[in-house]
Amino acid sequence: MNNIGIPKKQGLYDPRFEHDACGVGFVANIKGNKSHEIVQQALTILANLDHRGAVGCEPNTGDGAGILMQMPDAFLRKVCAPLGIVLPEPGRYGVAMIFTSPEAPDRNSARHVMERIIDEEGLKILGWRDVPTDNSSLGDTAKSGEPRVRQLFNKPSLLRDE
């Protein structure tokens, strides 16, 4: 099979709309090795996808494109230590990314509910971390709905006493 270029029109596919199919990039190390180079390549992909038009009413309010990557254990240890959060060995803890209300009463109410459910599910909470963010490049629309970003560190109850 020797396909070079865009395929011919067939079924529901029409090459006239090929430009509409952009918006996904994928970079990986096939052996699962972690490296900052992969993150840099992923950021390049994000910058190159700017043309796809995934913006709102303002050019600086977008669709929240991001990067999925392996857990950065060394970094998390560095930022958790000053908070008194002691992390088990890699692979023995989890991190939940929580997008919650910027309003303290709502945020605290949600935290209490989450902590109750987490305990019921047999997880041990290791600690919470407020993730520093920089909204200086966001549009007013994005800022109006901006959540507080928090991380919840936990481990399964099977590992509680280890």
- Asked if the 71-162 domain carries CATH number 3.30.70, the reply is yes
CB distance 27 to 70 below 8 Å: no
pLDDT at residue 160, as a whole number? 47
Residue-wise pLDDT for 108-154, tens only, equals 999 999 999 999 998 999 999 999 999 998 888 888 889 999 999 99
pTM of this structure:
0.72
Collect contacts of 34-38 with beta carbons under 8 A, ≥24 apart: 34/70, 34/72, 38/69
Residue pair 61/135 in contact by the 8 Å Cβ criterion: no
| Assigned token pair, 34 | 């972690």
pLDDT at residue number 158: 65
Q: Minimal CA–CA distance to 49: which of 62, 36, 58?
A: 62
User: Band of the pLDDT at 54, cuts 50, 70, 90?
Assistant: low
CATH 3.30.70 residue ranges in the chain?
Answer: 71-162
Residue 81 has pLDDT above 60, yes or no: yes
Q: How confident is the model at residue 62 (pLDDT cuts 50, 70, 90)?
A: low
What average pLDDT does the segment 60-74 reach?
78
Residues known to be catalytic: 22
